[in-house]
Amino acid sequence: MSEIPSDHPRFHSLNLRHRLVEGLHAGLASEAGLLAQGRGEAFDYLLGEKTHRFAEQAMAAASARLIRAEHPVLSVNGSAASLAAAEIVSLVKAYPRLSIEVNLFYHAEQRSHRIANRLREVGAPLVLESCDPKSIALPTVQSNRRRMHPDGIGKADVVIVALEDGDRCEGLVNAEKRVIAIDLNPLSRTAQMAEISIIDELTRSLKYLQNQLVADSKRDQAELAQRSEAYDNQEVLKQAIAAVRDGVDLNAREVSEKAAPEN
Ligand code: PTJ
């Protein structure tokens, strides 16, 4: 990776860009993944490259939803693996009830295996792949994203998707799976369709979500149920769209290395 001085004002953003380029060269990311990241980078720039309160609210709701889920699964594509392999593995190690499934938009078995191997190298205990011969189909989705591992997304009641395409999110919702989306664009079809939309950068949000899950694991189920029920995704999306339109929210703050707050 080319040298980015750590005091560069946009160090983190440039670092992510390089992670994706490296992921492309390592055969993990698709070429279209570079464009998807560019779009996300533009939204993050408008959001001040900070985690906002509306994202914290969404992550608190996501944590409650994940803890109350029967079978939660994190769907990982080439872009997510390139940007956040370490953060993904750290999250599933801290919260082992969450399974990982590699699921690609641009179907390519070799790329799927490379992504799974990268996650294992970083320390993932178990990685399922939707290209598995046992895979089953998600009704109403025409792309190769319809494939799901029967022990992963196939039986999941809650699915976390990141940098996801709208058709598949819709397919998951139609299949009555509860979708938690991580997407910097509050106007994307994925963010609009998900039950919980985390409008935040992937690596920042995974760290925050991990801290929140660890803190919430000790909490009372009734409290978590109440938090889930009180959550209003339309309000979160409204605030996120306003933040994109109005510019940087002065209440936004760096959270990446901090623990989730007590709720
Ligand atoms: O590896 P594959 O074959 O599965 O390909 C995956 C891509 C990313 C190409 C595919 O899913 C795709 O085309 O995605 P979209 O429809 O471009 O959507 C990506 C969304 O993620 C956009 O709304 C971006 O704003 C958002 N995004 C990009 N980078 C980040 C992000 N959201 C959070 N964190 C990011 N770092």
Angle at 142 between CA 98 and CA 194, to 5 degrees: 45
Query: In the 8-state DSSP scheme, what is residue 18?
Result: H
Residue 44 CA to residue 232 CA, distance in Å, equals: 22
Ligand 1 atom having least distance to the Cα of 183: 32
Ligand 1 centroid from CA 35, angstroms: 8
- Determine whether the shortest distance from the Cβ of 109 to ligand 1 is under 6 A: no
- Report the C-alpha dihedral over residues 191, 208, 87, 146, rounded to 10 degrees: -20
- Look at residue 255 in the predicted model and tell me its pLDDT: 45
Phi and psi at 8, nearest 5°, equal -65, 135
Ligand 1 atom having least distance to the Cα of 191: 23
10-residue mean pLDDT series, the chain (263 residues): 71 89 97 94 93 98 98 98 98 98 92 98 96 91 85 97 92 95 98 98 98 96 96 98 79 48 49
- Look at residue 256 in the predicted model and tell me its pLDDT: 41
Contact 78, 112 (CB under 8 A): no
Contact 188, 165 (CB under 8 A): no
Ligand 1 atom having least distance to the Cα of 202: 34
Model confidence over 7-62: pLDDT tens digits?
777 778 888 999 999 999 999 999 999 999 999 999 999 999 999 999 999 999 99
